[in-house]
Structures are given as structure tokens and as C-alpha cells.
């Protein structure tokens, strides 16, 4: 069995099909992991959702910020943003099945056999893996519950921006979601900055990529993540595998074979 991890697709279904040809994907033998943000901004989110769901046990996906946004819009607690391309899903006859499947997906996946960690944005610098897994599960429990709309309605916001185990309720869950699905830069003390989205080269002095925060508690973990197209798939830090190569922005869609780290890419368009 071969496992491939694939970066942010964001509705680029044609490129996903090309990438699967490139890796000669065999549904009988291979498993696909996805870094999240399956949907939005690109043209064919509905087909991406249907395809990934139909993989059944041959896939793992962790939720990204755009996937959570889709859930919030679909449950009627958030408006679509300018540039959103979620309409086809919202009008699909299998909409409810797709949404139910999506809200039962994890925010963090840890594979015991390979010891890889998969999350959309990364892990808060202060979290050990065991803590991160427990915190992700707190949010997953809310999403899977009977009334996800109450939770989704209060999910949005940049505060609190610093993890503290004393946080409770929605503030605690929002902080967990922001670290797992929206994080790029932090301050040296691990506080999140959610405003600067540009290149590392042009960043304000006080900001540090989350994986470079000093004394990161999870620095020995092998972490696969997406979300950050401006990295171009590269980090200088060991054990970190950045897979968002900006397909929806006209760049590439990338897969990594877990066995040997070999990467496969297809150009967008
Ligand atoms: Mn994202």
C-alpha cells in the first residue's frame, strides 16, 4: 500500500485528476491523504467533495478553514464571501450527505504506523502532539454533534489569539480552530497573527513562521500541512512537509509519497 499526501485542492478538480494520473493512483492499493481546503475559490468544488467522499476508507482528510466556511454557509449561519464558489454544493441533491460526511472529518490525524501528523495549518508551538490530538477532538465533538450550527455561528473571530489551557467554551474552541486551520505567523511567545498573509521575505520583524517559534514543543514530529501557498511547498525546518503549492492561484497541485518523500506536481490550467 502506498500513501500519497495531497495539498490544498480548493475546487481544482481537473488538476486533481491530472495529479492522480501522474502518480498512477490505484484505488485498490493506494491511500490518499488531503491537507484540507478541498473546496472554494476554484471552479469544481462539488466534484472534489464527491470524489474524495467516494474514496471511502482509502482516504484521510483534515478540515481546513474553507471546509469549515462551507459548513457555516450551508448551515445558514454565515454569508458567502466575495469570491466564494460554493453555490453548486449548496444546490446539489446530495448536499446533506456531503455536509454530514464533511463535518465528521477530523481537524488532526495522527498515523501510528508512519508517525506522520496531518493538519491543515500546523500545530500551535506550545502543543505537544498528545495535547494537540485531545484539543482537536474537542472541536470535532462539537462539529459532529446534533446542532453544529450553534457552534459554527460562533466559530469566527481572531480572538483569543494566544493558547491558554484555562480557556473555556467557544473561546477555547475558536482558539484551537485558529491554530489548526488558519495559522501562518506567530509572535515569539506563540501568539497568533492572523492578518499578515504575504511572503516570509516581506514579513514584519516581530512575526515568525509558526514552525520557527523558539522551543516549539512539537519540533520532533513529522508534520504534513497545507494552507500556506506563499511557502511554495518549502520549509527549511526538518520533519515539516508543506504541500499547498497554490493550485487555485495558478501554480501547482502537489502530492508527496510518504514512503520516500518524493513529490509529484501538476501545473494548474
Ligand atoms: Mn486554508
The confidence band for 44, taking pLDDT boundaries of 50, 70 and 90, is very high
pLDDT score at 1: 86
Output the pTM of the full model.
0.97
Specify whether the CB–CB gap between 158 and 175 falls below 8 A: no
CA angle, residues 32, 90, 36, in degrees to nearest 5 = 25
Q: Separation of 120 CA from ligand 1 center, angstroms? A: 7
Say how far apart CA 48 and CA 257 lie, in whole Å.
Answer: 20
For residue 136, report the distance from its CA to the centre of ligand 1, in Å.
16
Is pLDDT above 80 for 61? Answer: yes
Determine the distance separating the centroid of ligand 1 and the alpha carbon of 28, expressed in angstroms: 30
Q: How far apart are alpha carbons 21 and 66 in whole angstroms?
A: 26
Give the pLDDT score at 237. Answer: 86
Residue 154 has pLDDT above 90, yes or no: yes
Per-residue pLDDT at 181: 98
Whole-number percent of the chain with pLDDT over 70? 100
Q: Which of 223, 235, 226, 217 is nearest to 253 (CA)?
A: 226
> What is the 177 CA–ligand 1 centroid distance (Å)?
11
Give the model confidence (pLDDT) of 161-210 as tens digits.
999 999 999 999 999 999 999 999 999 999 999 999 878 889 999 999 99
Q: Is pLDDT above 80 for 136?
A: yes
For residue 167, report the distance from its CA to the centre of ligand 1, in Å.
24
Task: State whether residue 82 is helix, strand or coil.
Answer: coil
The number of beta carbons lying within 10 Å of the beta carbon of residue 136 is: 24
Q: Quick check: 256 pLDDT over 90?
A: yes
Tell me the CA–centroid distance for residue 7 and ligand 1, in Å.
10
Cα–ligand 1 centroid distance for 173 (angstroms): 17
Query: For the chain, which domains are there?
Result: 2-267 (3.60.21.10)
Amino acid at each position: 500500500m502506498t500513501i500519497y499526501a495531497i495539498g490544498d485542492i480548493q475546487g481544482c478538480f481537473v488538476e486533481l485528476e491530472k495529479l492522480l494520473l501522474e502518480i498512477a493512483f490505484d484505488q485498490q492499493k493506494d491511500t490518499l491523504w488531503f491537507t484540507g481546503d478541498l473546496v472554494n475559490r476554484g471552479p469544481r468544488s462539488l466534484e472534489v467533495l464527491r470524489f474524495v467522499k467516494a474514496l471511502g476508507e482509502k482516504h484521510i482528510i483534515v478540515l481546513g478553514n474553507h471546509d469549515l466556511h462551507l459548513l457555516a454557509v450551508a448551515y445558514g449561519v454565515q454569508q458567502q464571501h466575495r469570491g466564494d464558489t460554493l453555490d453548486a454544493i449548496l444546490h446539489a441533491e446530495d448536499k446533506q450527505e456531503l455536509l454530514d460526511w464533511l463535518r465528521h472529518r477530523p481537524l488532526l490525524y495522527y498515523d501510528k504506523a508512519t508517525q506522520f501528523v496531518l493538519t491543515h495549518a500546523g500545530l500551535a508551538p506550545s502543543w505537544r502532539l498528545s495535547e494537540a490530538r485531545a484539543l482537536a477532538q474537542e472541536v470535532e465533538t462539537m462539529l459532529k454533534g446534533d446542532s453544529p450550527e450553534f457552534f459554527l455561528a460562533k466559530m469566527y473571530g481572531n480572538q483569543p489569539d494566544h493558547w491558554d489551557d484555562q480557556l473555556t467554551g467557544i473561546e477555547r474552541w475558536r482558539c484551537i480552530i485558529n491554530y489548526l486551520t488558519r495559522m501562518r505567523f506567530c509572535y515569539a511567545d506563540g501568539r497568533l497573527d492572523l492578518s499578515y498573509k504575504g511572503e516570509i521575505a516581506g514579513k514584519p520583524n516581530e512575526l515568525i513562521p509558526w514552525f520557527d517559534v523558539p522551543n516549539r514543543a512539537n519540533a520532533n514530529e513529522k508534520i504534513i500541512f497545507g494552507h500556506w501557498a506563499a511557502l511554495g511547498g518549502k520549509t527549511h525546518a526538518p520533519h515539516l512537509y508543506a504541500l499547498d503549492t497554490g493550485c487555485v492561484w495558478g501554480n501547482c497541485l502537489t502530492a508527496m509519497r510518504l514512503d520516500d518523500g518524493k513529490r509529484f506536481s501538476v501545473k494548474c490550467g
